[in-house]
Structure 1
Amino acid sequence: MIEALLPEKHKNTLFVRAFGFLKVPMLFFISPSVVELTDQKCVVRVPLNRKTRNHLKSLYFGTLCAGADCAGGLIAMRLIQSTAPDVSLVFKDFKAAFLKRAEGDTHFTCEDGLGIQALVRKASASGERENMTVTVVATVPTKTGSEPVAKFDLTLSLKKKSQKPRQP
């Protein structure tokens, strides 16, 4: 009942924070908010505050990495849930280019949804591990507009969960 009253972005934010609380405490600690989540695009906002900033008063690089992980992982989780719930995900590698200091609330955007959806279907059909590099761009809209402050390439690795034989 309460779920019907909440706007979609609030439901998504609650999901991310609950997932962080239960599974990835670092994610819960940085308090991400979902700005937009569709099958094509995910935008996550991470606030600049006492918990997330460094000694230069900009977003700590660990927080930047967690934000990129959240944006790339959330869109993949959404597509797995709706397409093939029997697929598990993990990030295989991670590359980052820090272009400017993130001196405000930072938005992490991943627009690789269509490619991720195809990868989910491929992993579910083949049963083999399938990989794809997804790109996440970090911006600080209040300070630098749409100019990137960091770019991340994460290799998403998906595989169909194996069926365990039932014990009598």
Structure 2
Amino acid sequence: MAFKEFQQTANHRFKFGLFMLYKLPSAFFCGVRLRSISEKAAVVSVPFKWLSQNPFRSIYFACQAMAAEMSTGVLALGHIHGRKPAVSMLVTSIKAEFVKKATERIYFTCEDGETMQQCIASAIASGEGKTFTATSTGRTKGGEVVSTFTVEWSFKAKAHAVNQ
């Protein structure tokens, strides 16, 4: 139920756009946008434009990283939304592999929502921090792989909430 509530807000372009402008201004101005979200997967895109390019006329690696991290992070946010006890989340590692020059809009997809949800449930049940490695693959509109990112997240039930 809580995920559906988060999903409704995330799919509202204006509300989520304000959230990004306030919390993730760099991603907002570079054009990083949430395209779809479900309990299982999320898709985030980044365009090739002046604010996202590097001197080599392709999408700057940091802009790709923002989109890749967001595709994993928005799933995490959805799965911790409304949890009792509250759960903290933090990126602990990020790795990337660049396969092809990114010269058009790239779509980053993370399909690890179900296993991420299990990890979060385990962190709540144990009261201990748990790590989860999510994969986000960046593809062109035609489906050609441009880059792959692995983002390691740490989840932990907030201490003050566990003791209540």
TM-score normalised per structure 2: 0.85
Given that 1:47 and 1:106 are in contact with CA atoms closer than 8 Å, whether structure 2 keeps it comes out as yes
Shift of 1:83: 4.9
The yes-or-no answer on 1:159 pairing with 2:159 is no
Give me the TM-score of the superposition, normalised by structure 1.
0.83
Q: Equivalent residue for 1:104?
A: 104
d(CA) in 1 for partners of 2:66, 2:28? 10
Please give the alpha-carbon distance, in whole angstroms, between the structure 2 residues aligned to 1:126 and 1:24.
31
- Alignment length (residue pairs): 154
SS in 2 for 1:122: helix
Q: How many Å apart are 1:85 and its aligned residue?
A: 6.5
Contact 2:11 2:36 survives alignment (8 Å): no
CA contact (8 A) 1:94 1:152 kept: yes
Specify the alignment match of 1:114 in structure 2: 114
**Corresponding residue number in structure 2 for 1:34:** 34
Partner in structure 1 of residue 89 of structure 2: 89
Please say which of residues 21-30 and 89-98 is displaced more in the overlay.
21-30
Q: What SS does the aligned partner of 1:39 have?
A: coil
| In 1, Cα distance between equivalents of 2:114 and 2:15 | 22
Shift of 1:21: 2.1
- Counterpart in the other structure of 1:69: 69
Structure 2 unaligned blocks of 5 or more: 1-7
CA distance in structure 1 between the aligned counterparts of 2:10 and 2:126, rounded to whole angstroms: 33
Percent of aligned pairs with the same amino acid: 30
- What secondary structure, in the 3-state scheme, does the structure 2 residue paired with 1:123 have? helix
Cα displacement (A) at 1:84: 5.0
